[in-house]
Amino acid sequence: MSLTVITLLLFGLALVAFTVGRGRAAAFPGAKGGVIAADRPHSRPNYHGAFVALAALAPALIVVAAWGLFSEGVVGDAVIASVPAAERPATPLDRSSFLSEVKGIASGEMEAGFNPATGPAAKVYNETHDTYNLIVGGIAAVLLAIGAIWGLARLKPNFRARNRVEKAIMGLLIVASLVAILTTAGIVGSLIFESARFFNQVSIIEFLTSTTWSPQTALRADQVGSSGAFGAVPLFWGTIFIGAIIAMIVAIPLGLMAAVYLTQYADSRVRSFLKPLLEVLAGVPTVVYGFFAALTVAPAVRDFAVSIGLENASSSSALAAGSVMGIMIIPFVSSMADDALNAVPQAMRDGSFAMGATKSETVRKVLLPAALPGIVGGVLLAVSRAIGETMIVVMAAGLAANLTANPFDSVTTVTTQIVALLTGDQEFDSPKTLSAFALGLVLFVITLILNIYALSVVKKYREAYE
């Protein structure tokens, strides 16, 4: 019996509990409508039913959900334990491929695994799964029955079923909003935990100050060319160079001018046509930009560099990735600038016009200086978004960790390296894979600081004009 079936059965039983509870309540004296409030039961029959159903379902569901979360691990351990020690998979990767073969055979999708030991293991898998599911299903059913009986016993005409049900709903709402904190805690916790393991093996000073990045660790002691150097400075530079310099050189003037035109010059007909265009630009998936950057822009940039005499121009140049990223960011910068310009009080605009200034003079000498804090905040948010952007740089920027300011050269970024380190075969405890988490931590902290600072700037700016 699968977990889904058990869950559906539990819901079915809860529905029965609901009907019984509602029936009980409907039979209360005055339930059909007493003349005065004191003659009627406190809550409507539906609430009584819901109370019984909740009392029955909640504990049972918690047990099933907990089991669902840990079942794969527990059953996996049981399966591995059943395999003779000599044939047991050694590394975590072997273990997971072994288990996926076992699962394939167990579900009947595969006829036989590559590993002969998976045949008997699949049997064990099915048996353990069934046994555990039966036990868990049994416990859940008993809890459900106890809950239903307890709930039914409490139903009385003056029982405040509605308040109880509403309290449960409120609990659900609070739990839902705690998901945000849990996610944040999960991110911070897992990044710090894995980074700490990395910094046990590699010094944090080296990571933050050394300029050599070569994460291939030696598999054998005598291997050549696998130094395992983890100096992340070239990565930070590459990230800043592409995301905060090249992309912003493209995005700030274009985005700002687009916002100025849309808010100051364009009439509503033009605006209704141009604004969706920017939204489309913002909605194109980054992988599409990446493909375009790699296939169309990068060769063009390389040809251009060669034509002006740079012989060793890279085909994965910083310029190609950065400029496409800049285009991607335009809508973002434009909408932030739009907000900032609109927040400038009308009186300042009117005052400038009254002095005889033209529109462009008003924009340049009054609106932009007045909106500057808002625009700067928006640009900082855009930078934070650009340095966290992954697909464009993974596809169009290189993997070579160069410390160069030549835009036709190849640089690598933090996000590119995270993807490169964590895809493909990986042994999980090596400094190579753990370094990805350290890079992730740096990225998270920097974007967080940028976001918080930028949001506070924007907020303060808005308040100044309110």
Partner 1 sequence: MASMSASRPATETLASKAPTDWSGPAMTARIKGRYRSEFVFKYAGLAALVVAALFLVFLLFTIVRDGASGFRSTDVKVTVTYDPTILGIDQAAAKGPGGKQLIEQGNFQGLLTTADTGLGVGTNVVSEGAWLVLREAVIADPSLLGKTATLWVPTRSNFDLLAKGKFDLDAADEARGVNDADIAAYRQLESRGLLKTGFNWTFLTSADSTTPELAGIWGAAKGSLLTLLVTLVLSFPVGIFAAIYLEEFAPKNRWTDMVEVSINNLAAVPSIIFGLLGLAVFLNFLNMPRSAPIVGGLTLALMTFPVIVIAGRVAIKAVPPSIRDAALGVGASPVQVVFQHVLPLALPGILTGTIIGMARALGETAPLLLIGMRAFVTEIPSGLSNPATALPVQVFLWSDDVARGFVEKTSAAIIVLLIFLMLMNSVAIYLRNRFERRW
Q: List binders of partner 1 among 380-399 (CB under 8 A).
A: 381, 384-385, 387-391, 394-395
**How many of the chain's residues bind partner 1 (CB under 8 A)?**
94
Q: For residue 47, which of 157, 147, 176, 172 has the smallest C-alpha distance?
A: 157
Indicate the residue type of 201. Answer: Q
Cβ nearer to partner 1, comparing 327 with 370: 327
In the bound state with partner 1, the residue whose beta carbon lies nearer, of 143 and 252, is 252
Question: Of the ranges 5-13, 117-125, 191-199, 227-235, which one interacts with partner 1 (CB under 8 A)?
Answer: 191-199
Closer by beta carbon to partner 1, 389 or else 409: 389
What is the rounded CA–CA span in Å between residue 286 and residue 389? 8
User: Looking at beta carbons only, is 153 or 178 nearer to partner 1?
Assistant: 178
DSSP symbols for 34-77: -SSGGGS-SS-HHHHHHHHHHHHHHHHHHHHHHHHHHHHHHHHH
Q: CB under 8 Å to 136, separation ≥6 — which residues?
A: 6, 63, 64, 67
Taking the least distance from each CB to partner 1, the nearer of 39 and 405 is 39
| Binding flag, residue 72, partner 1 (CB under 8 A) | yes
Sole binder of partner 1 in the list 32, 364, 365, 460 (CB under 8 A): 364
Contacts of 337 (CB under 8 A, 6+ apart): 255, 256, 259, 260, 371, 374, 375, 378
Q: Of residues 91, 131, 358, 456, which one binds partner 1 by CB under 8 A?
A: 358
Residue 221 in contact with partner 1, rule: CB under 8 A: no
Examine residue 444 and tell whether it contacts partner 1 (CB under 8 A). Answer: yes
Binding track, positions 102-121, relative to partner 1; x by CB under 8 A: -x------------------
- Residue 248 in contact with partner 1, rule: CB under 8 A: no
Please, which residue, 110 or 145, has the CB nearer to partner 1?
110
Residues 136-175 that bind partner 1 (CB under 8 A): 162, 166, 169-170, 172-175
Candidates 114-122, 130-138, 300-308, 434-442: pick the segment binding partner 1 (CB under 8 A).
434-442
Residues 6+ apart with CB under 8 A from 388: 415, 443, 447
Rounded distance between C-alpha atoms, residue 290 and residue 411, angstroms: 16
Q: Nearest approach, Cβ of 137 to partner 1 (angstroms)?
A: 19
* Residue from 132, 261, 304, 453 in contact with partner 1 (CB under 8 A): 261
State which residue, 11 or 70, has the beta carbon closest to partner 1.
70
- Considering only 418, 432, 457, 458, the residue that binds partner 1 (CB under 8 A) is 418
> Considering beta carbons, is residue 10 or 79 the nearer one to partner 1?
79
Footprint (CB under 8 A) of partner 1, residues 268-297: 274, 277-278, 280-281, 283-292, 294-296
Which residue of 36, 38, 85, 180 would you call a contact of partner 1, by CB under 8 A? 180
Report the distance separating Cα 18 and Cα 57, nearest Å.
10
Q: How far apart are CA 102 and CA 120, in angstroms?
A: 9
| Chain CA centroid to CA 337, Å | 26
Quote the tokens at residue 158. 């003056």
Report d(CA 140, CA 264) in Å as an integer: 65
Inter-CA distances, 446 with 96, 183, 417, 432, Å: 34, 18, 17, 22
Site map 396..415 versus partner 1, x via CB under 8 A: -------------------x
Q: List residues bridging with 214 in a β-sheet.
A: 229
Q: Is 385 helix (H, G, I), strand (E, B) or coil?
A: helix
Nearer to partner 1, 169 or 205 (CB): 169
Query: What stretches of 304-436 adopt beta strand conformation (E)?
Result: none
**Residues 2-61, interacting with partner 1 (CB under 8 A):** none
Structure tokens at 80: 């591995």
Check residue 369 for interaction with partner 1 (CB under 8 A).
Answer: no
Closest CA to 407 of 348, 287, 328, 324: 324
Contact residue for partner 1 among 27, 62, 218, 455 (CB under 8 A)? 455
Strand partners, 229: 214
Cβ at position 177, least distance to partner 1 in Å: 4
Closer Cβ to partner 1, 150 or 265, answer by number: 265
Strands (E), 357-443: none
Which of residues 62, 66, 452, 464 is near partner 1 by CB under 8 A?
452
CA distances from 366 to 125, 261, 286, 460 (A): 73, 16, 36, 19
Shortest approach of partner 1 to residue 408 CB, angstroms?
A: 21
- DSSP states along 168-207: HHHHHHHHHHHHHHHHHHHHHHHHHHHHHHHHHHS-HHHH
